[in-house]
């Protein structure tokens, strides 16, 4: 199933959107439930009371898409250097504070982004040159946790997954290198475009999921989740070792090679650029870049 969060005439709704060329079927949710976006579906699944369709289907161009989870309940868990080729390109960039331990990490590198970074499909990625002139893009498959757990074994990890979405882990590379810890460089306003949809777990084949990114029409990143260094069950096992994962938690699984820092010279984002990211069946996430 493919879900979206949308706004129509000032009201937030959540609906089923089977495909980009089909209408959106609204679901029966209260106003307060709908404000949480797809988290309302995650919560309903826990109760075993999925909301029913209501009203007439809506043309996609008659609504404004919001991020599937407009404001996560807590920081987004993120994973660095989790594709082999990207680990090599980042280690060679000069911005990798972990490079002395080797290009390919022995254990998952986990950091976070604050919830307020999330913006929707179509919203601008904001670049403030006075803060950072080195803003980069990172296409990533993101896991949405559906069932709480602590000390989750790899063998049982996927039972805790509700579904998946697509995020752009936008990064200020100079801030990432300057501060060693990555929170500031990863958590600037608008630095986590998300969407356009979220899909239930059965919709994604983790053994064969293509991940792509274009900048101004040029294909920059293309990989498959089978190339992950640490797979989704390993990430869940790692993070939940001492940290209770909660329904609605998001885990961004890492980006493949082809980011701006991997070019010589680096190819950072600039005002007027357009970033397009795609994971089937989640869809295409399109964001303009705006200098402020």
pLDDT, tens digit, 9 for 90 and up, residues 279-289: 999 999 999 99
Q: Is the dihedral of CA 239, 198, 70, 26 positive or negative?
A: negative
The answer, yes or no, to whether residue 5 has pLDDT greater than 90, is yes
pLDDT at 163: 98
Q: What is the mean pLDDT of the chain?
A: 95
Cβ count within 10 A of residue 267: 18
Query: What number is the average pLDDT over the span 58-63?
Result: 96
pLDDT of res. 96? 60
Is the per-residue pLDDT at 95 higher than 70?
Answer: no
Residue 179, pLDDT score: 86
pLDDT at 99: 59
Residues 6+ apart with CB under 8 A from 255: 82, 83, 86, 138, 139, 140, 169, 221
pTM of this structure:
0.95
pLDDT-derived band at 84 (thresholds 50, 70, 90) equals confident
Average pLDDT over residues 12-20: 96
Find the range with the poorest average confidence among 91-100, 142-151, 229-238.
Answer: 91-100
Confidence of residue 11 (pLDDT cuts 50, 70, 90): very high
Q: Where are the alpha helices (DSSP H) in the chain?
A: 31-35, 39-47, 84-91, 154-157, 173-179, 183-186, 232-239
Task: For residue 277, give both structure tokens.
Answer: 């990211």
Separation of alpha carbons 77 and 234, rounded Å: 14
Using one digit for the tens of pLDDT, what is the confidence trace for 242-279? Answer: 999 999 999 999 999 999 999 999 999 999 999 999 99
Give residue 279's pLDDT: 98
Confidence class of residue 88 from pLDDT cuts 50, 70 and 90? confident
Instruction: Supply the pLDDT for residue 245.
Output: 98
Please write the tens of the pLDDT for every residue from 202-228.
999 999 999 999 999 999 999 999 999
- What is the spatial distance between Cα 209 and Cα 191, in angstroms, rounded to a whole number? 24
Task: Show the beta-strand stretches assigned E in 22-170.
Answer: 25-26, 64-66, 76-80, 109-113, 118-119, 125-127, 135-136, 139-145, 161-168
Residue 118: the pLDDT is 98
pLDDT band at 57 (very low <50, low <70, confident <90, very high): very high
| Mean pLDDT confidence for 98-124 | 89
At 201 the pLDDT is 98
């Amino acid at each position: 199933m493919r879900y979206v969060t949308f706004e129509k005439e000032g009201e937030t709704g959540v609906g089923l959107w089977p495909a980009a060329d089909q209408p959106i079927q609204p679901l029966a949710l209260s106003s307060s439930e709908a404000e949480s976006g797809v988290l309302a579906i995650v919560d309903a699944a826990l109760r075993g009371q999925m909301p029913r369709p209501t009203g007439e289907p809506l043309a996609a161009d008659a609504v404004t898409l919001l991020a599937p989870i407009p404001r996560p309940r807590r920081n987004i868990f993120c994973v660095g250097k989790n594709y082999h080729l990207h680990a090599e390109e980042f280690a060679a960039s000069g911005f990798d504070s972990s490079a002395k331990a080797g290009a390919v990490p022995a254990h998952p590198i986990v950091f976070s982004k604050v919830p307020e970074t999330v913006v929707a499909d179509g919203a601008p990625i904001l670049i403030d040159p006075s803060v950072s002139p080195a803003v980069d893009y990172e296409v990533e498959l993101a896991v949405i946790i559906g069932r709480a757990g602590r000390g989750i074994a790899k063998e049982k990890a996927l039972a805790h997954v509700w579904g998946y979405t697509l995020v752009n882990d936008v990064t200020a590379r100079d801030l990432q290198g300057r501060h060693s810890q990555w929170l500031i460089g990863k958590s600037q306003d608008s630095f986590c475009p998300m969407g356009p949809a979220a899909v239930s777990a059965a919709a994604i084949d983790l053994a064969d999921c293509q991940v792509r990114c274009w900048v101004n029409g040029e294909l920059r990143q293309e990989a498959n989740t089978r190339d992950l260094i640490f797979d989704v069950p390993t990430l869940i096992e790692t993070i939940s070792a001492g940290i209770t994962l909660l329904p609605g938690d998001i885990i961004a699984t890492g980006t493949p090679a082809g980011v701006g820092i991997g070019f010589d010279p680096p190819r950072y984002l600039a005002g007027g650029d357009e970033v397009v990211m795609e994971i089937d069946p989640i869809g295409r996430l399109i964001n303009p870049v705006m200098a402020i």
